[in-house]
Structure 1
Amino acid sequence: MEGLGASSLQNLQALSALLSPQQQEEDDEDGKNMLACAHLGPGNIGPPPKKDKEVSTPYKKQKSKDIWSEEEVPEGSQYDDEADQRAQPEYEIILKQSVGTEDVFLGLSRKDPSSMCCEAMLVKIKLPDTKATDVVLDIKETFLDLRTAKYKLGLHLPQPVHSQEGRAQFYTEREELEVTLLIKRPMDIINM
């Protein structure tokens, strides 16, 4: 066993010498080798790390006393309120695309059933016992905020939308609000 330990120690030291030629050779006495073996590990192979380099992080801390910057806070988090006891209504998100006969029968427009070819997003929100005048709706690029006396919905949208180019319609007989939002599609030139 002692022979096996000494040869593996020699192999580790030889590998260390190959990977870090600037380190000086230690004496090959058996006592010092055993002490060196106890202190060697995977971190000892190769050149020592440079201390003067700064670690780059994706967020650069400002010199102010702020603990986060505006970019780090997700959109819509200002609407989160733990103390608000209003219920979240049931909702459904449906992606829509305009399809004509040339798409269905001939396939001329290169559209497919995937979500990449969708032009609009329909959000159906069930609001029982609510009037259309009670609904307060705010649409941001990636966030939908709905408030009524009984319900509160803060919904992060799956795709960015044009916040100024949507429409909402309240159906009293179904007690449902339908919000149609146009999806921002930056790759339309490539995809269509």
Structure 2
Amino acid sequence: MEGLSSIESLQALSALLSTPNEDEEDDDFKTVGPVSKMGPGHIGATSGKDGSERREVSATYVKKNTKAIWDDDEVMEGAQFDDLIDPRPQPKYEIILKQSIGTEDLFLGLSGKDPSSMCCDSMLVRVKLPETKASDLMLDVREKFLDLRTPKFKLGLHLPHPVHSEEGRARFITEREELEITLPMNRPLDFINLH
């Protein structure tokens, strides 16, 4: 009796969940086998009139361009600058995170800043460019990517933090043959960070 009542419960649940068509009869319930062969896939209408399975695909899983390997938002910023054929070497560089602190931070600790990178507000990128003049530099800074090109060197650098690219400063130090790029960091929750 219990097995019979559970099949009836599943059939009642199936009738509630399926969208009834006026032309369809309740033939779907007659094709249900023993309880051990039933699973979650048996709830609802499983086949159309011609016996083929009906599948509805959500619009979120349908690709816009079937020949595309990935979507535009999956490609990292600056990937268009990667050139495998270009023989120019990458110059030596270093990234330094900087903080603006005052005497109240240094001696009294009033602002709550600590030496961690969460409290840093700018990024300094130093690039060694031997035998290069300032007029030879081509610099393009995006939110997450820095592209630097000279006749002898090429640097495509994915930045560790998003930056305000329009507010950055760059200066070339001729004595050291070094380019210093200072970029303020773009933190969406700056009011929460301990500044």
Q: Distance in 2 between matches of 1:85 and 1:63?
A: 34
Q: Say whether residues 1:47 and 2:28 are aligned partners.
A: no
User: What is the root-mean-square deviation in Å for CA atoms of aligned residues?
Assistant: 2.8
Task: Give a deviation string over 1:123-162, Cα, whole Å, max 9, x none.
Answer: 0000001011101000000000000000000000000000
Unaligned 5+ segments in structure 2 are 1-5, 12-31, 47-53
Deviations along 1:86-115, one digit per CA (max 9) or x if unpaired, are 000000000000111111221111111111
Distance 1:107 1:45 in 2: 67
2:96 to 76, 94, 118: 94
Partner of residue 131, structure 1: 133
Distance 1:119 1:60, change over 3 A: farther
Structure 1 distance, partners of 2:143, 2:131, is: 29
1:69 shift after superposition: 3.2
SS at match of 1:102: helix
Structure 1-normalised TM-score?
A: 0.71
Q: Which amino acid aligns with 2:163?
A: V
Alignment of 1:89-168 (within 5 A): 89-168=91-170
SS at match of 1:190: coil
The structural deviation recorded for 1:191 is 2.0
Structure 1 range deviating more: 70-79 or 124-133? 70-79
Partner Cα distance (2:180, 2:161) in 1: 17
Where do 5+ consecutive residues of structure 1 fail to align? 1-16, 27-39
- What is the percentage of aligned positions where both structures have the same residue? 61
TM-score by length of 2: 0.70
Aligned amino acid, residue 47 of structure 1: P
Q: CA deviation at 1:74?
A: 1.4
Alpha-carbon distance, 1:66 to partner: 4.2
